[in-house]
Amino acid sequence: MMTNSSLRDRRAFLKFLTGSPYIAALGGVSAAAFDTQQAATAIGDVITDPKDALDVMDFEEAAHRKVAPGHWAYMVSGTDEDGTIRANREGFKHVQLRPRRLFDATKVDTRTELWGTTYNSPIFTCPTGGEKSFHAEGELAVARATKARGTLQVLSTATSTGVEDVCQAHGQPVWYQLYAPSSWAATEKIVHRVEAAGCPVIALTVDNTTGRNSETYAAQRSRPVRGVPRPR
């Protein structure tokens, strides 16, 4: 079994490796990070501190161990038999960062302006429904995290926290993702509430108006939704 400090040392070394030009020559940073994460998970080397993450996928197994099985099944399900999730992950392996040498990259400015608001980064948190299913503080925790980083939060129609409370926790109005109900009156009611909360943008999502076939979730939806951590 690895101690926390040997685990940190190994991760620090892997971090160094993934930044190395030699890794770029072998297939690039994202490919290396993905493969080291898979190797780390395979030997049970799961992060216990966000600071140890080399790659966003390092959070996956850590979350798997925390989230109740029924909620986990929802979180990891795609459409039909998850073909698009697999295709996306495969696709991202072919996107590489091209290292540019002999440029001064000590000060990088990632700020982005969208409709009059400046964010510290173009990376934002996507809308995901019912975040309290995954963490007791749900959307409020995401609001505090995005506020701390100066980034955008997009709140789902299926939020488990009221839009007003989320805007307050975020420090400024968030964007709102809308699944429009089939009744126009109900849609107007939501839009007026979101407007009154100050949300400057509504992102209309049309993928779910007729429902979808999620086979992974359908097969596992009867699994417990609380208090059953994944066995180690």
Ligand X SMILES: Cc1cc2nc3c(=O)[nH]c(=O)nc-3n(C[C@H](O)[C@H](O)[C@H](O)COP(=O)(O)O)c2cc1C
Residues lying near ligand X in the complex (CB under 6 A) are found at 74-75, 88, 126-129, 156, 158, 177, 205
Q: Rounded to the nearest whole angstrom, what is the least distance from the CB of residue 22 to ligand X in the complex? A: 29
Cβ proximity to ligand X: between 154 and 197 the closer is 154
Dihedral angle computed from the Cα positions of residues 32, 33, 38 and 43, in that order, rounded to the nearest 10 degrees:
100
Q: Quickly count: other Cβ atoms within 10 Å of residue 130's Cβ.
A: 16
Residue 41 carries which side chain, given as an amino acid letter?
A: T
Query: Measuring CA to CA, which residue among 47, 24, 29 is closest to residue 92?
Result: 29
At which residue do the structure tokens 């996507």 appear? 126
Q: Rounded to the nearest whole angstrom, what is the least distance from the CB of residue 202 to ligand X in the complex? A: 11
Cβ proximity to ligand X: between 36 and 128 the closer is 128
Q: How far apart are CA 125 and CA 118, in angstroms?
A: 15
Q: Rounded to the nearest whole angstrom, what is the least distance from the CB of residue 205 to ligand X in the complex? A: 4
Cβ proximity to ligand X: between 168 and 205 the closer is 205
Cβ proximity to ligand X: between 123 and 228 the closer is 123
Cβ proximity to ligand X: between 19 and 162 the closer is 162
Q: Rounded to the nearest whole angstrom, what is the least distance from the CB of residue 74 to ligand X in the complex? A: 6
Q: Rounded to the nearest whole angstrom, what is the least distance from the CB of residue 193 to ligand X in the complex? A: 17
Name 161's Cβ contacts closer than 8 Å, sequence gap at least 6.
Answer: 131, 132, 138, 139, 140
Cβ proximity to ligand X: between 99 and 129 the closer is 129
Query: Measuring CA to CA, which residue among 156, 148, 155, 154 is closest to residue 120?
Result: 148
DSSP 131: G
Q: How far apart are CA 109 and CA 99, in angstroms?
A: 17
Q: Rounded to the nearest whole angstrom, what is the least distance from the CB of residue 169 to ligand X in the complex? A: 18
